[in-house]
Chains A and B, each alone.
Chain A
Amino acid sequence: MNFSKIRKDVAVVGAGMTIFARRLQETGKEMSWEAARMALDEAGLTLNDIDAVIMGSAPDAFDGVHKKGEYLLDGAGGTNKPYMRVYTGGGTAVFAPIAGWWHVASGMFKRVLVVCEEKMSSVQPHAQSAFAHIWDPILDRPLKPNLVWIFAMEMQRYMYKYNVRYEDIALVAVKNKRNAVGHPCAQLADPNITLEDVINSEPMALPVRRLDISPPSDGASAIVLVSEDVAYEHTDTPVWIDGVGWCLDTTMWTNRDLAFPKFLARAARMAYEMAGIKNPRKEIDFAEPYDPFDYKELQHLEGLLLAEPGEAAIMTREGKTQRDGEFPVCPSGGLLGVGNPIAATLGIKIGEVYWQLARKAGPRQVKKDVRTGVAQAWGDLMQFSAVIVMRRR
């Protein structure tokens, strides 16, 4: 990759996020508008100032409408502007801002709005029946799979290969649901949750239990990205996107060792190289890895090269990944605590890293002085990861 060709540095100058919950009253368009408006307000901008709009939203099957990009257009503020929708499953949350980044980094646009929305409650009786359509129709679907199976199988393989204890994995759920107490959008915050609660929660697809999983949710999030030329016109505290990376492994998921996400390590190396990071463990202060399941936080920390394989569980057990620990992980409360409206988790990942680095995270602000953070999301048929490194300068 030739990073010297990148023309403009790109900063986040505003972010917005709706409450994550079962939002039966609002349409996806209305939620998109709420989030977009909040991000613009924080940046002190109006829609007229925006040159282009990126929309991120996961499967059309959730909404039962096609061309979901166009369906959500008006709510995202994309009318009569260069506009595109991107979609990489759960990875959309961090991939949509990467699409926004290249719009600005190319020098073509000065101010870009990135909006991510998900409304999972429309599909009846449960989002699970829409998830059924992601499996291979020839090999997998005749077995009548449930999406949780794939995570259970991956978790089992991860625990086996790296000798990870279930109890240490469950501690991630405890940490994140407690962290989410400080998050005004949170769906499943619980200040009193204990390790026993997670371990004794009902079995889903073992080793996965109820409290190991993030809840389906509705919501929207948005960020405003601007070029270095105008960043300080909008804020004293721009947060810079210094590295981006993304990568997919083969869709033949039964041909891979599921224990370690190599595609993520590739994406991370790309982002670190671009950000000039040589030793990620030393140079990155905190992380918002994608945590739709508790073991995913650990596996993703390892894929992000912030821990050796199997080591993230030990860091968790030792309390290092707590909000006031030496390496805070998911200070937002994560998907496990705040909720998992697929693409809209932009607000928990990129949004949180922005708010932390701009010191606007309120009760969730990490104790240590953080200057460099990394956000990551994961998706498609568990084969994709997107990574963004952000800095306060």
Chain B
Amino acid sequence: MSKSQKFGPPLNPRGRRLEAKDLESITHVRAKVPVKYAWAAGTAMSRFLEELKNGRIIGRKCARCDRVLVPPRMFCERCFQPTTEWVYLPGTGVVETFSVSYIDTNANRIKEPILVGTVAFDGAPPHCGIMHYFGEVSPEELKIGMPVEPVWKPKEERVGSVLDIKYFRPRKK
């Protein structure tokens, strides 16, 4: 067996960069993949979505570690025990973190930035909450730790979706 290192990568990688004339000879087959889904929300999340319709945030308590899990689940992933109790939360919280986004979901540039982040709910363990938008606040004013409250859609427009909350805004004193 040869012990010499004839090829010695990484000095000689394979492949080459495209040149303009290459583009004429490249063949592609184009396709769309149309697939539809109906995702089950699950036992715990179905109740969570139902309660959003009522303008309420609900969590699920683990009797063993005493955590209130939000978003709720029917079992505690740490204790690996069933959760036992539904707990209503006030819905208020603090900004856990945020971003001022100048790109949309498809990476298109947008002029008016989206203010997005996570809210850590009051009544839940530290850092526990959901992702959502922020509104009625400028990018400069938005800060980690800022107390916020949900702004709900009118009751008749709620459908049992995380979008039943329009956004979170700074909490009025």
- Assuming the contacts A144-B104, A146-B104, A204-B102, asked whether A21 and B17 have C-beta atoms less than 8 A apart, the reply is yes
Bound-state CA distance A32–B41 (Å) is 39
Q: Is B127 among interface residues, defined by CB-CB distance under 8 A?
A: yes
Bound-state CA distance A138–B163 (Å) is 10
Q: Is A118 among interface residues, defined by CB-CB distance under 8 A?
A: no
Q: Is B26 among interface residues, defined by CB-CB distance under 8 A?
A: yes
Residues B45 and A138 in contact, CB atoms below 8 Å apart: yes
- A residues in contact with B8, CB < 8 Å: 42, 360
Q: Which of A124-132, A291-299, A367-375 contacts B (4 or more CB under 8 A)?
A: A124-132
Q: Is A314 among interface residues, defined by CB-CB distance under 8 A?
A: no
Contact with A along B102-126 (1 / 0, CB 8 A): 1111110000010011100000011
Interface SS, A side: mixed
Residues A152 and B101 in contact, CB atoms below 8 Å apart: yes
Residues A156 and B13 in contact, CB atoms below 8 Å apart: no
Rounded to whole Å, the gap between the CB of B28 and the closest CB of chain A is 8
Residues A34 and B100 in contact, CB atoms below 8 Å apart: no
Q: Is B20 among interface residues, defined by CB-CB distance under 8 A?
A: no
Neighbour of B26 across the interface among A24, A31, A257, CB < 8 A: A24
Q: Is B152 among interface residues, defined by CB-CB distance under 8 A?
A: no
Residues B10 and A21 in contact, CB atoms below 8 Å apart: no
Bound-state CA distance A183–B12 (Å) is 10
- Assuming the contacts A25-B18, A38-B7, A160-B144, asked whether A143 and B163 have C-beta atoms less than 8 A apart, the reply is yes
- Assuming the contacts A153-B97, A156-B97, A257-B127, asked whether A19 and B17 have C-beta atoms less than 8 A apart, the reply is yes
Q: Is A79 among interface residues, defined by CB-CB distance under 8 A?
A: no
Residues A143 and B162 in contact, CB atoms below 8 Å apart: yes
Bound-state CA distance A145–B37 (Å) is 19
Residues B98 and A153 in contact, CB atoms below 8 Å apart: yes
Rounded to whole Å, the gap between the CB of A22 and the closest CB of chain B is 7
Range, interface on chain B:
35 or more
Residues A64 and B31 in contact, CB atoms below 8 Å apart: yes
Count chain A CB atoms within 10 A of each CB in B42, B99, B125 and give the residue with the most.
B99
Q: Closest chain B residue to A152 by CB distance?
A: B99
Rounded to whole Å, the gap between the CB of B108 and the closest CB of chain A is 9
Contact with B along A32-75 (1 / 0, CB 8 A): 00110111011010000000000000000000100000000000
Q: Is A214 among interface residues, defined by CB-CB distance under 8 A?
A: no
Neighbour of B101 across the interface among A18, A149, A157, A183, CB < 8 A: A149
Residues B144 and A44 in contact, CB atoms below 8 Å apart: no
Q: Is A337 among interface residues, defined by CB-CB distance under 8 A?
A: no
How many residue pairs at the A-B interface have CB separations less than 8 Å?
186
Residues A145 and B129 in contact, CB atoms below 8 Å apart: no
- B residues in contact with A355, CB < 8 Å: 10
Contact with B along A189-212 (1 / 0, CB 8 A): 000000000000011111110000
Interface SS, B side: loop
- A residues in contact with B31, CB < 8 Å: 64
- A residues in contact with B118, CB < 8 Å: 153, 254
Residues A138 and B41 in contact, CB atoms below 8 Å apart: yes
Rounded to whole Å, the gap between the CB of B82 and the closest CB of chain A is 17
Rounded to whole Å, the gap between the CB of B132 and the closest CB of chain A is 7
- B residues in contact with A207, CB < 8 Å: 99
Q: Is B138 among interface residues, defined by CB-CB distance under 8 A?
A: no
Neighbour of B10 across the interface among A149, A184, A203, CB < 8 A: A184
Q: Closest chain A residue to B129 by CB distance?
A: A254
Residues A362 and B49 in contact, CB atoms below 8 Å apart: no
- Assuming the contacts A144-B104, A154-B97, A205-B99, asked whether A25 and B10 have C-beta atoms less than 8 A apart, the reply is no
Neighbour of A206 across the interface among B39, B101, B106, B129, CB < 8 A: B101
Neighbour of A42 across the interface among B5, B18, B101, CB < 8 A: B5
Q: Closest chain B residue to A219 by CB distance?
A: B15
Q: Closest chain A residue to B25 by CB distance?
A: A25
27 contacts between A and B (CB under 8 A): A15-B9, A17-B10, A21-B18, A24-B18, A24-B26, A31-B15, A34-B14, A41-B6, A44-B1, A44-B2, A44-B3, A128-B105, A137-B39, A138-B41, A146-B105, A148-B107, A149-B101, A153-B99, A153-B117, A153-B118, A184-B10, A202-B102, A234-B1, A254-B131, A257-B126, A257-B127, A258-B97
